[in-house]
Chains A and B, each alone.
Chain A
Amino acid sequence: EAGVTQFPSHSVIEKGQTVTLRCDPISGHDNLYWYRRVMGKEIKFLLHFVKESKQDESGMPNNRFLAERTGGTYSTLKVQPAELEDSGVYFCASSQDPARSYEQYFGPGTRLTVT
């Protein structure tokens, strides 16, 4: 079974540009999460999808960040316009229905560098 995949693995953009990150969860996982780790600090929650619906977006830092999960499969996270403080590693995770399992499985992350 394939794990969570993320694309790209690394992105370098200039301040003011737009970047779109993609996450493909484990097949059959309804829950999809975005997290990020900025400048060596703790990994912080951004938002949580259940299928195509946003369950919790309390961690989204501001309206420059837009996450979508059309069709309830893969998800995208767009940053527009990017700022220097957005640099960090963006992780995606997925999990099954809580009646079956609580474990969240993480992808390898996308390292975003804004210059």
Chain B
Amino acid sequence: SQQGEEDPQALSIQEGENATMNCSYKTSINNLQWYRQNSGRGLVHLILIRSNEREKHSGRLRVTLDTSKKSSSLLITASRAADTASYFCATDASNFGNEKLTFGTGTRLTIIP
């Protein structure tokens, strides 16, 4: 598997349900960031979690990080049609942060109205 690999590759759920996406990585990291990409558009930054953090919340988003398992999860609660997009995790493996990000392959999320 590659650094920053998400699963599932595709996920379809009913509006109002919760969506969970997972990300695994190989090396030690400084931080992990989640991004959303709507079809044909740019990447929107969702949330950043540092290596010394275990959980972080932002609105309907909840991110967890388990550095012992080298994995992270993104939970979107009470999903909406507008959440339909591709979601990517990206890791920064530098010592001090703010260096290159390594992206996963992404999860394509479809919310069914």
Chain A residues in the interface with B (C-beta under 8 A): 4, 31, 33, 35, 41-45, 48, 55-56, 58-59, 91, 93, 95-98, 102-109
Contact = CB atoms under 8 A, between A and B. Distances in A.
Contacts, number: 65
Interface footprint category on B: 20 to 34
Interface of B: 2, 4, 30-31, 33, 35, 41-45, 48, 50, 88, 90, 92, 96-106
Contact of B98 (A35, A44, A95, A108): A95
Contact of A102 (B43, B97, B103, B105): B97
Given A91-B42, A104-B45, A45 B100 contact: yes
5 contacts: A41-B105, A91-B42, A104-B90, A106-B42, A109-B42
Contact of B101 (A45, A96, A108): A45
